[in-house]
Amino acid sequence: MVIGCFVLLVVLVFSLCGMDRAESKDPDYPTKSITLNLPFAAGGTTGAVVRPLTEAAGKSLGQQFVIVHKPGGGGILCAVTVMNSAPDGYTLGTVGAGMVFVAPFSEECPYKDLSGLSMIMNFGGYNYPVMVRGDSPWKTWKDFVDWARQNPKAAKVGITGGKMVTSQGLIFGQIEMREQVEFTYIPLKGSAETLSSILGGHTNLFGSSVDPGTMQYVKEGKLRILTYLAKEKIPGYENIPSTQDLYGFSLPNILGVVGPKGLPPSIQKKLEDAFTKAIKDPDFVNIMERMYMPIVYMDGAQMKKYTDETLAKVGGIMKVLKAEEMKKKQ
């Protein structure tokens, strides 16, 4: 009995020592630059706001961040790059709604949940105003929906990607079911192309995120906001109802920093603390305002809870939308 207890004690001590060694594998982290992968091409709004964020976080950590653009597959390439990296804190990524909540339900996506990622913190989101040209006859969202109901498939929605592969499509699909309308989706490559399409009259509904250039057209009266796909609203245009106000659902808005599964708690805490401090940096706050992007903060635990719960809800919605799409094809 005594010998058995002694053996158990020895095993426990060695186990604890092993945990200490694993946790202190890189006690001086970070000792070199950190790579942050972005799921978008260079020149976009996300890259513009991430640079001052990482500069501020880098000051706290004592190391620089290297930004690497990994566009492709609606963010899937970026997510997989992070998932397959070593859990040492030197390879991170940013995530948006599409790659987190919609991509897992695509047949081409290699991951079906978010278990391969460690949530570090959420720092923002996007504004998704649904807009028409300023010279159009539709003054409100109800005006547009009534017209679309009377003219099936005539409503051409300019959307980044396709209906079933983007977070915007997730909301438009629910609107179609609720309002008994049928939109025609025009898949485009990004906000710039979506903007050109509506201004040129090739589409009559703008279904993407905004940037300063797009908002300039709103201020000049060349574009008119009818509703918002997310809860967040643009300052000065808060009186316009969102889909949350109208229907009780809205786009799951997320923009955060993640690492691979298995990040040591001490490293994850250092990163979370550095980025949490960085979102208060004046340069970061100013550029978020200029880019019309809301600051939405969640720590790692809150972000994980939000993404897990939202992914489960989206799964149910996607099942219904896919069934509806099959009915239309029959």
Residue 204 CB partners (closer than 8 Å, separation 6+) = 132, 133, 136, 155, 156, 198
Which among 53, 88, 60, 80 is positioned nearest to 268, based on CA atoms?
A: 88
| d(C-alpha 269, C-alpha 275), whole Å | 10
Bridge-partner residues for 67, per DSSP?
Answer: 36
The domains of the chain are located at 30-125+254-318, 129-251
| d(C-alpha 301, C-alpha 297), whole Å | 12
Which pLDDT tens digits describe the chain residue by residue (330 residues)?
A: 444 443 333 333 334 444 443 444 678 999 999 999 999 888 888 999 999 999 999 999 999 999 999 987 778 999 999 999 999 999 999 999 988 998 898 888 999 999 999 999 999 999 999 999 999 999 999 999 999 999 999 999 998 776 777 889 899 999 999 999 999 999 887 788 899 999 999 999 998 889 999 999 999 999 999 999 999 999 999 999 999 999 999 999 899 999 999 999 999 999 999 999 999 999 999 999 999 999 999 999 999 999 999 999 999 999 888 888 788 777
Residue 2 CB partners (closer than 8 Å, separation 6+) = none
Q: Which amino acid appears at position 244 of this protein? A: Q
Fold of 129-251: D-Maltodextrin-Binding Protein; domain 2 (3.40.190)
| d(C-alpha 230, C-alpha 245), whole Å | 10
DSSP string, 44-85: SHHHHHHHHHHHHHHHHHTS-EEEEE---GGGHHHHHHHHTS
Domains 30-125+254-318 and 129-251 share a fold: yes
> Could you give the residue ranges of the DSSP H alpha helices within 222-299?
243-247, 265-278, 282-290
> Could you give the residue ranges of the DSSP H alpha helices within 84-183?
97, 141-150, 167-179
In contact, 91 and 257? CB cutoff 8 Å: no
Question: For 30-125+254-318, CATH number?
Answer: 3.40.190.150
In contact, 202 and 135? CB cutoff 8 Å: no
- How many Cβ atoms from other residues are within 10 Å of residue 91's Cβ? 19
| d(C-alpha 239, C-alpha 40), whole Å | 31
- The model's pTM is 0.86
In contact, 279 and 297? CB cutoff 8 Å: yes
